Amino acid sequence: MEQETRGRTSRRRRARDGGGDTPKRKVNYRQLRNPFPQMAIFSDDQIAAMHESALQMLEELGIKVLLPEARQILARAGARVDESTQMVHIGRDIVEQALATAPKSITARAAVRERDLTLELGALTFQCGAGAPHATDLDRGRRPGTGRDFREFTKIVQHYDVLHMMPPVVEPQDIATNIRHYFTMEAQLSLSDKLPFVFARGTPQVSESFELLRDFRGLTDDEFQTDPHCYTVINTNSPRVIDTPMAQGLIDFARHRQLSIVTPFTLMGAMAPITVAGAVTLSHAEALAAITLTQMTNPGAPVMYGTFTSNVDMKSGAPAFGTPEHFKASLAAGQMARLIGLPWRCAGGSAANVNDAQAANETQFGLWGSLLAGATTIIHSAGWLEGGLTVSYEKIITDLEVLQMVAEMCAPTPAGPEEIALDAHDEVAPSGHFFGCAHTMARYQTQFYQPLVADWSNYGTWEENGSRTASERATGIWKKILHDDVRPPVDEAKVEALHRDIDRRTAKGGAQPES
């Protein structure tokens, strides 16, 4: 990131921009490294004991795998399978073999090289809130997600560099399920140049999605498989079940060397033990089982470790996010990830029903848990309400402010003699001000982060401007993005070919999801 514009660079830029006097602040929010120290919640011994317990759980208690092919793959690798109960007992030697081949650094390919992602411990990527059945905004209210919402969210996510990959923000419920995967692929490929998401809803849909993507990118099968060109998220059915579409997804993505992000969703007190150590041990065991399935399918296949462990309200059973327990679980999961050395995903989130102070506080608190846990990818880092049942257009914008501020922290801050600036201190008399001094004049247009939605005006000015909350201001911001409709360059011929291909497949009946 270039935070400052000085001397020759400044003059050159002004000249390049047509002689105007407003050099733009240049930032790079695309390739981030996590600048925050990593925090441990447990001792190394405790982490080792949790890992050991997870191995013991897989070996002795086993995990239920609903897909026969997956059981076969694990059996061939040496696991003990009981076909009558579908239980698979995975020995620690098999898990260790899987961890030895799972890649520690993954290059995920977007449409353009500037959008490629290096996924490894130390890297930092953000994903917008995803997977919501509902969408909400202040103009149109809360409603079941539609194809229109899906396309709008795709444009909004595309607009912000700090959102590094394209998620399925909302479920487009007005699109028939047999052709929904065409719709979501078309939107992502034609409106975005970021890493696309493919839902693991069974082999037929996944295979078709891979074909559409490979053809659109103009890749051979070999090229497609050299590095992953798309990703999916695999949620185990906690406790201790890998269901059919998830198992198919793990196998299909591994076979084609596309990226699976393995994520047991383990709410403490509900589908996981009530203790952080118990829940993370379960999550770890399930993640290890899923990772093992990918590596036994195709050694070296790209797979990310992951967790999403929070708690429920023990009075009502309602899920909660951005709680102290969620924060602690994220830290514990980060320690597990570092133990096995794999890139990993964590998540923020909020259970609030509206984009208010609770919503902001929970999402940011969960974000800090993920940041201090050293997560490679932080999912649901903007926009989630109602524990993921709704994504809010406005909350995406207000949360993005925080993500951009975090991204600012990733850039080095100079502190040489020019920044310490004894000359400036000498120039400004006691009780004076630095507004007009040479040191300030050389930097004032580019020094500070410019807020996205924060309004720093005084109360009187704010009142004159309509006393609008951050959410109300955010409405104007997302509307402008949709109105301007700036799209990344795409090859129109390829888009037309994609449409013809989708039309042809639709005419044949599409493909139903597995369940």
Stretch that binds a copy of itself, among 76-84, 93-101, 105-113, 267-275 (CB under 8 A): 267-275
Residue in 75, 175, 389, 495 binding a copy of itself, rule: CB under 8 A:
389
Lookup: tokens for 466: 């309509």
User: HSE-up of 436 (CA within 13 Å, CB side)?
Assistant: 2
Which H or E element spans position 135? strand 134-137
Contact positions with a copy of itself (CB under 8 A) in 452-511: 453-459, 462-463, 467, 469-471
Residue-wise burial string across 179-190, b where 16 or more C-beta atoms lie within 10 A, e elsewhere:
bbbbbbbbbbbb
Site for a copy of itself in 140-199 (CB under 8 A): 142
Which lies closer to a copy of itself via its Cβ, residue 190 or residue 283?
283
> Of 420-439, which residues contact a copy of itself (CB under 8 A)?
420-422, 424-426, 428-435, 437, 439
Q: For residue 339, state whether it binds a copy of itself (rule: CB under 8 A).
A: no
Q: How far is the CB of 481 from a copy of itself (least distance, A)?
A: 18
CA atoms within 13 A on the CB side of 120: 8
Task: Single out the residue of 402, 477, 449, 333 nearest to residue 163, CA to CA.
Answer: 402
Which DSSP string do the residues of 210-234 spell out, in sequence order? HHHHHHHHT--HHHHHHS-S-EEEE
Q: Is residue 405 near a copy of itself by the rule CB under 8 A? A: yes
- The residue from 9, 28, 226, 447 that contacts a copy of itself (CB under 8 A) is 447
Number of residues counted as binding a copy of itself (CB under 8 A) = 122
20 near a copy of itself, rule: CB under 8 A = no
Draw the binding track, 89-128, toward a copy of itself (x: CB under 8 A; -: no contact).
Answer: ----------------------------------------
Residue numbers 57-76 binding a copy of itself by CB under 8 A: 57, 61, 63-64
One residue of 9, 28, 226, 361 binding a copy of itself per CB under 8 A? 361
Report how far residue 134's alpha carbon sits from residue 148's, in angstroms, rounded to the nearest whole number.
Answer: 12
Q: What Rg do the C-alpha atoms of the chain give, in angstroms? A: 24
Tell the smallest beta-carbon distance from residue 331 to a copy of itself (Å): 9
- β pairing state of 319-320 and 308-312: antiparallel
Residue 460 burial by Cβ neighbours in a 10 Å radius (0-12, 13-18, 19+): exposed
CB of 25 to a copy of itself, least distance (A): 11
Whether the upstream peptide bond of residue 168 has omega within 30° of 0, thus cis, is no
Among 151, 180, 201, 395, binds a copy of itself (CB under 8 A): 395
Among 239, 245, 349, 388, interactor with a copy of itself by CB under 8 A: 239
276 lies in the site for a copy of itself, by CB under 8 A: yes
The DSSP result for 311-323, as a single string, is EE-TTT--EE-SS
* Whether the Cβ atoms of residue 230 and residue 197 lie closer than 8 Å to each other: yes
Between 114 and 455, name the residue whose CB sits nearer to a copy of itself: 455
Closer by beta carbon to a copy of itself, 60 or else 485: 60
Is residue 342 at the binding interface for a copy of itself, with CB under 8 A as the rule? no
Please identify, using beta-carbon distances, which residue of 343 and 349 lies nearer to a copy of itself: 349
Q: Which of residues 306-325 bind a copy of itself (CB under 8 A)?
A: 311, 313-314, 316-320, 323-325
Binding-site string for a copy of itself from residue 126 to residue 145, where x marks contact by CB under 8 A and - marks none: ----------------x---
Cα 26 from Cα 468, distance rounded (Å): 29
Residue numbers 31-60 binding a copy of itself by CB under 8 A: 35-39, 41-43, 46, 49-50, 53, 56-57
Name, in order, each residue with C-beta under 8 angstroms of 364's C-beta and a sequence gap of 6 or more: 322, 348, 399, 402
- Find the shortest distance in angstroms from Cβ 367 to a copy of itself: 9
Q: Is 328 exposed, middle or buried (0-12, 13-18, 19+ CB in 10 A)?
A: buried
Closest approach, Cβ 478 to a copy of itself, in A, equals 14
Stretch that binds a copy of itself, among 167-175, 206-214, 416-424, 478-486 (CB under 8 A): 416-424
Distances (CA, A) of 211 to 48, 142, 305, 505: 42, 35, 26, 11
